[in-house]
Structure 1
Amino acid sequence: MNASTPIRYDCSLITSDDRYLFNEGNHFHLYEKLGAHPGIVDGVAGTFFGVWAPNAESVTVMGDFNGWNRDSHPLTWREHSGIWEAFLPGIGVGEHYKYFVRSRYHGFTAEKSDPFAFRTEVPPKTASVVTDLHYDWNDAEWMKTRGERHRAESPISIYELHLGSWRRAPGDYNRPLDYRETAKWLIEHVKRCGFTHVEFLPLMEHPFYGSWGYQTTGYFAPTARYGAPQDLKYLIDQLHQHGIGVILDWVPSHFPCDGHGLAYFDGTHLFEHSNPKEGFHPDWQSAIFNYGRNEVRSFLISSAMFWMNEYHVDGLRVDAVASMLYRDYSRKEGEWIPNVYGGRENLEAIHFLRRLNEAIYAAHPDATMIAEESTAWGGVSRPTYTGGLGFGAKWDMGWMHDTLKYFAQDPVHRKYHHSQLTFRMIYAFSENFVLSLSHDEVVHGKGSLLNKMPGDPWQKFANLRLLYAYMTAMPGKKLLFMGSEFAQWEEWKHESSLDWHLTESGPHAGMMQLVGDLNRLYVNESTLHEWDWKPEGFRYVEANDGDNSVLAFLRFGSWGKPIILCVFNFTPVPRPSYRVGVPCAGYWSEVVNTDATIYGGTGSGNLGGVSSAPIPSQSYGDSIQVNVPPLACVMFKWEA
């Protein structure tokens, strides 16, 4: 076909019911109808195209197949729906294309990437690519059982990573691993470190690599930087076959203003608000979705559903939820518009988030939806029928900030900040929390987790081992960002690989061993995860010994499960013969000692365990005397 012989068929994938649901805001499988879909009509092969552009005067398809001619392949307007569509023969899989949009207003014209494209060119190129998503999955066993892995009572320990800077290709340090290469290396590392899930920073297509994926343009396309859609499916498939869950970061809070993207799509503010007080994000210099527009809700929920359905992902971590909930988020007085009741809550965004979670959990009750929400908004992880937002879990940003602030203190001053450790238990069960030490804490000059720790090198490592044990012992699911598992000295840089050479020996190898042992303990001991989200699973034994900077608490599971006692010394001063009350008489075996030599510690400990004595302490009739090493955690399991 060439520009002089335009042919099209006036036929449609989109039914009247599709159009109705789309315009109503309740079509959650739009990716099956809009975008580019190869097919056959009357024995002729070609591609169905469909795009939403209600304020366009005309829309055409341009690409390799017509020499990028802006006029030769027009689409047909479908009244009242705002959709343009046609079946164009001769256009097949692999063809590059864009839409040329002529607006009814202001003489605006633009070459736009397909909002529903399944594949794109490798950035910085911006064309969409006609694609067949077929893939033969081999993860049926995982998909059949994954619901058990996402119950409130199940262990979830997440390894967060940015694919482009996780590891470089062997023999070519300048090239990141592609999706298929990543599978082997990542599976081996995750299993070695004992994580149950991986969470990828956004893999959706994004023009600016330095945004880490958080400036998304392709809400239905994995970034082409690391391969084709089937390559990403292979990576996820392999992870599932090895018992590892997959969570994707997903960004419905804002999108970039690049000319080929969603912004000002048809010469009007179609996906975004027109008023910059509502439609422009001052922090990220990006556009904000108009959640009150029905078609935008259909678009976004269809995107979330797409990754669940087509890529078998086990959950989405929804980015920057707080920025969606508040109309005055990062805005000064006079820079925002109140809601219809005069308040600061974004009612349309609240409705969208509830509808999103209802739709996802209705279709995938065995998946998980996690909110990054940084305020005290109530009920983020509570059901919508109780007035909540309907997420399955929420990052505990308060715990992260308080804990890192405490650990940054010189130990001699920690006794004055003891409440930063104990405050969490006031609210710990108000939400289904994930304790996160994420990418945001090791970038932009904040330093690595290791370099946040005070003291000489030995103390830095000891402090970090103590932090990881503290996170493991506290109620809540877990998340750790890449590089932190082996105590990388340098903060994260997205332009380069992690410093994998550090893992070969020394305290870095010891740190990775500890992380693996802690994760395996967390997974294997149901007491440490079964009641992560229930107050019955936690009880302080010693919460008030700020003078010695010692903390002790018990973790419980359901009746008949072992009890675990966790004791922490947040100073470099050893605490020999420290008496701790216990609820049960008998032998308490030492199951964790972060000061063990295998981890890089001094080897001080309790020779495998201690027996209780009928000596009252801390409201219990029995107690044990334990040696608590410097800057260390020891955990004991009751053996009766």
Structure 2
Amino acid sequence: MLFSIWGLIYLAKFIMPKTKKVSENKTALTTVDTSKSVWAHSLFTDYDVDLFLVGKHFRLYEKMGSHLMNVQKTEGTYFAVWAPNASSVSVVGVFNNWDRSTHPLNKRWDKSGIWEGFIPKVAKGEVYKYFVKGFDESEHLKGDPYARKWEHPPQTASVVWDTDYSWKDKSWLAKRAKLNALDQPISVYELHLGSWERDPGNPERVLTAREVAPRLVSYVKEMGFTHVELMPIMEFPFFPSWGYQITGYFGASSRYGTPQDLMFLIDALHKENIAVILDWVPSHFPGDRHGLYEFDGTHLYEHADMKKGFHPDWKSYIFNYDRPEVRSFLISNAIFWLDLYHADGLRVDAVASMLYFNFSREDGDAATNDQGGPENFGAIKFLQDLNVAVYGSFEGVQTIAEESSTYPGVTHPVHAGGLGFGMKWMMGWMNDTLKYFKVDTLGRKHHHHQLSFSMTYA
């Protein structure tokens, strides 16, 4: 059940200006040494780097990752990856027989820790990874954190791809602010795209998002739902996780087809005035060797202190929200799905595990903040920045917190000390209600407060 208070229309007034696309580097080299296997080229301006380093670059997907382009009248792909503690980074793939020595990227001359370069003739559909050598000479074969497409699991390489699509939902976007407003009735149909429907002729085959679209749209419309919530559709290696252990945050899972197939599904739902909420998991990530864990040989995306950086229940790693570059990565990812995939909302998973260092930990096994308390101030600031950026960038979208604790002010405005979410899953209310109905009928009059307790902290 969703819960909203305060009618968060305030968000349009109290937040930063809409995030803007940062222009391409006006000082890019006009002459290129075309004799090299990797040409010097950059999409980054000094302003990009400054924003990135302070955690305020919210459109990194326009710069990082792989980008098809034409340089010096030559088609190819530009690559950029953050690996500040690496001694070298090269691109490997089928195009160079996975040779680690032939296509080294250039480390930027500034303090950004970004490696980049343009490789001629690398075309759409090429599979690749980054070969990262750590400062201690350790070797790591990594997927691209910003890849927009991945190989089908169990293969783990990234794929050069675009997100071009001819959207037909202009009418929906024009009225979304009204239909998706907090004072409108909302009925959400949540589903796991990979198991909702299978190929009748081959039940083992997962249907693509494009194949699912006609049946799903028809069913949701017939049942009268206003919203569809898709369990995580970002790339993930372990199918039984339902997508909640993500390795490719910017890639629509190849299990469901191409990025364009997912766009087609969202477009089809919008044509019938059905909003789309995406489950989003900025709370933790798995330790698969091709993923974010120890990306450049160090604890780059996760905390080095495992009391802060490791989740004992899920056996996964927790983002270092104190690191500005990680905040830029995550908020850019949220903006990416709202921008390029026209999502109408994000349901943010496991917020309670982000807010508290002692979440699901035994006494004595938890870190504390600099005031001796259990709250993770870095995560709190990240969630506030996230909501300010999202509501400042898109009209008519919503963020929803899946939050199971009694943390106060989850849907209160950021300027009033809240987290700034539009809505909250009422998990506390659900648990309190179940406890209430377990009480004998005659004794319930002493427990009515349980039904309204969630109002005090939402």
| Aligned-partner Cα distance in 2 for 1:239–1:163 | 14
Question: Paired residue for 1:362, among 384, 392, 398?
Answer: 392
Q: CA deviation at 1:26?
A: 0.5
Q: CA deviation at 1:332?
A: 1.7
Change (3 A) 1:140 1:130: same
Size of the alignment, in residue pairs? 423
Q: How does 1:192-203 map to 2 (within 5 A)?
A: 192-203=222-233
Q: CA deviation at 1:8?
A: 2.0
Q: CA deviation at 1:162?
A: 0.7
Contact 2:433/2:451 (8 A) holds in 1 = no
Q: CA deviation at 1:108?
A: 1.1
| Aligned-partner Cα distance in 2 for 1:17–1:341 | 34
Determine if the alignment matches structure 1 residue 314 to structure 2 residue 341: no
| Aligned-partner Cα distance in 1 for 2:203–2:304 | 44
Determine if the alignment matches structure 1 residue 220 to structure 2 residue 247: no
Q: CA deviation at 1:426?
A: 4.5
Contact 2:406/2:457 (8 A) holds in 1 = no
Contact 2:436/2:450 (8 A) holds in 1 = no
Question: Paired residue for 2:144, among 103, 114, 125?
Answer: 114
Q: Kindly provide the amino acid, as one letter, of the partner of residue 115 in structure 2.
A: W
User: SS at 2:334's partner residue?
Assistant: helix
Question: Paired residue for 1:156, among 186, 198, 206?
Answer: 186
Determine if the alignment matches structure 1 residue 81 to structure 2 residue 108: no
| Aligned-partner Cα distance in 1 for 2:376–2:77 | 40
Q: CA deviation at 1:150?
A: 2.4
Name the residue aligned to 1:425.
Answer: 452
| Aligned-partner Cα distance in 2 for 1:230–1:397 | 34
Deviations 1:542-576 (A, max 9, x none): xxxxxxxxxxxxxxxxxxxxxxxxxxxxxxxxxxx
| Aligned-partner Cα distance in 1 for 2:447–2:206 | 40
| Aligned-partner Cα distance in 2 for 1:420–1:87 | 66
Name the residue aligned to 1:191.
Answer: 221
Name the residue aligned to 1:42.
Answer: 72
User: SS at 1:146's partner residue?
Assistant: helix
| Aligned-partner Cα distance in 1 for 2:102–2:121 | 13
Q: Kindly provide the amino acid, as one letter, of the partner of residue 131 in structure 2.
A: F
Q: CA deviation at 1:398?
A: 2.0
Name the residue aligned to 1:28.
Answer: 58
Q: How does 1:138-157 map to 2 (within 5 A)?
A: 138-157=168-187
| Aligned-partner Cα distance in 2 for 1:373–1:165 | 25
| Aligned-partner Cα distance in 2 for 1:83–1:59 | 10
Q: How does 1:485-500 map to 2 (within 5 A)?
A: none
| Aligned-partner Cα distance in 1 for 2:173–2:151 | 31
Question: Paired residue for 1:342, among 364, 372, 376?
Answer: 372
Contact 1:403/1:421 (8 A) holds in 2 = no
| Aligned-partner Cα distance in 2 for 1:113–1:63 | 11
Name the residue aligned to 2:121.
Answer: 90
Contact 2:180/2:275 (8 A) holds in 1 = no
Name the residue aligned to 1:68.
Answer: 98
Contact 2:276/2:344 (8 A) holds in 1 = yes
Q: How does 1:594-613 map to 2 (within 5 A)?
A: none
Q: CA deviation at 1:416?
A: 3.6
User: SS at 2:455's partner residue?
Assistant: coil
Deviations 1:432-456 (A, max 9, x none): xxxxxxxxxxxxxxxxxxxxxxxxx
Question: Paired residue for 1:104, among 135, 146, 158?
Answer: 135
Identity of aligned residues (%): 54
| Aligned-partner Cα distance in 2 for 1:414–1:264 | 55
Q: CA deviation at 1:361?
A: 0.4
List runs of 5+ in structure 1 lacking aligned partners: 432-640
Q: CA deviation at 1:362?
A: 0.3
| Aligned-partner Cα distance in 2 for 1:415–1:89 | 77
Q: Which has the higher contact order (CA 8 A, sep 6+)?
A: 2
| Aligned-partner Cα distance in 2 for 1:54–1:390 | 32
Deviations 1:332-363 (A, max 9, x none): 22212211111111001100000000000000
Q: How does 1:472-487 map to 2 (within 5 A)?
A: none
Determine if the alignment matches structure 1 residue 181 to structure 2 residue 241: no
Question: Paired residue for 2:362, among 323, 332, 338?
Answer: 332
| Aligned-partner Cα distance in 2 for 1:299–1:12 | 18
List runs of 5+ in structure 2 lacking aligned partners: 1-34
Q: Kindly provide the amino acid, as one letter, of the partner of residue 424 in structure 2.
A: K
Q: Kindly provide the amino acid, as one letter, of the partner of residue 300 in structure 1.
A: L
Contact 2:436/2:451 (8 A) holds in 1 = no
Q: CA deviation at 1:168?
A: 1.4
Deviations 1:146-200 (A, max 9, x none): 1112222101110011111111123222223210111111111111111100101
| Aligned-partner Cα distance in 2 for 1:238–1:408 | 43
Q: CA deviation at 1:429?
A: 7.1
Q: CA deviation at 1:16?
A: 1.3
Name the residue aligned to 1:605.
Answer: none
Determine if the alignment matches structure 1 residue 13 to structure 2 residue 43: yes
| Aligned-partner Cα distance in 2 for 1:13–1:198 | 36
Name the residue aligned to 2:234.
Answer: 204
Q: CA deviation at 1:231?
A: 0.2
Contact 2:92/2:130 (8 A) holds in 1 = yes
Name the residue aligned to 2:86.
Answer: 56
| Aligned-partner Cα distance in 2 for 1:243–1:405 | 37
| Aligned-partner Cα distance in 1 for 2:448–2:261 | 44
